[in-house]
Amino acid sequence: MNETFAVIPSPLGHIRITATNEQITEITFIGEAEALQPASIPLLQTAATQLQEYFNGSRTEFTFPFGQQGTPFQQRVWAGLLNIPFGKTISYKTMAIRLGDEKCIRAAGTANGKNQLAIVVPCHRVVGTNGALVGYAGELWRKQWLLEHEAKHSGLATQSALFV
C-alpha cells in the first residue's frame, strides 16, 4: 500500500493527514513536531480543505473517502462514532449500550482510543458518564476545544445540551 501524507496547520497544532490513492487512512495531531508539508495529491488536498472548513466553522460533515484498519469490534465502535451528531456527545456507557452490552464499556473505550481518524471519526464526542472530559489520545485540552468549537457552531449554548 503506497501512502503519502501532508502536514497542515490548525488551531490545535499541526495535523498529519495520511492517504493511499483511495482513501484517507490517518488524521493525527502532532503538535509542532513536524514541518508543514503541502498536500501533494487531490485526495489530501480535499481532506486538508475540509478540515480547514471544519475549523473555520463552515463544515460539520466530511465527504472524502476514509477508512482504517481494525478488528471487527473496533470497526463497530468507529462506525457508531459516526452516528454522534455534530455538537453533541454521548457517554462511554451509552456507547457500550449502543454496542449491545453495557459490560463492554472498557473495550469500547479502548477501541475509541485507537481511532486513527481524529475529528472525522469523532471520538472526541465521547465523554465520561458524569460529563467529564476523559480519555482522549489527542490530549484533553484538544478534546475540550473541539467540543466547545462544535457547540458554538451548532447553536448549542451549554455543556448540558451536548448530550444526545
Cell numbers of 111, please? Answer: 477501541
136 or 11, which is more confident: 11
CATH of region 72-162, choose from 3.30.70.1070, 3.30.390.10, 1.10.10.10, 3.40.50.620: 1.10.10.10
The answer to whether residue 158 scores a pLDDT higher than 60 is: no
Whether residue 163 has pLDDT greater than 60: no
* Helices 105-113 and 72-81: angle between axes, nearest 10 degrees: 80
Query: What CATH topology corresponds to 4-55?
Result: Double Stranded RNA Binding Domain (3.30.160)
Instruction: Give percent of the chain with pLDDT exceeding 90.
Output: 73
Residue 138 pLDDT level (bands cut at 50, 70, 90): confident
**Matching fold, domains 4-55 and 72-162:** no
- Maximal CA-CA distance, the chain: 44
- Over residues 60-65, the mean pLDDT reads 96
Which residues are identified as catalytic?
Answer: 123
CA dist., res. 6 & res. 49, Å (int): 12
All three cell numbers of 59, joined, read 463544515
Q: Fill in the amino acid letter for 2.
A: N
Provide the percentage of residues in the chain whose pLDDT is more than 70.
94
Q: Per-domain residue ranges for the chain? A: 4-55, 72-162
Q: What distance in Å separates the CA atoms of residue 148 and residue 12, rounded to the nearest whole number?
A: 13
Q: What is the pTM of this model?
A: 0.90
Give the per-residue pLDDT at 126. Answer: 94
Tell me what the mean pLDDT of segment 4-18 comes to: 96
**C-alpha distance from residue 64 to each of 10, 22, 28, 47, 161 (Å):** 19, 10, 16, 6, 29
What's the pLDDT at 160? Answer: 46
Compute φ and ψ for 132, nearest 5 degrees.
-70, 145
Q: How far is CA 41 from CA 8, 15, 101, 103, in A?
A: 14, 16, 42, 43
Instruction: Tell me the chain's radius of gyration from C-alpha atoms.
Output: 15
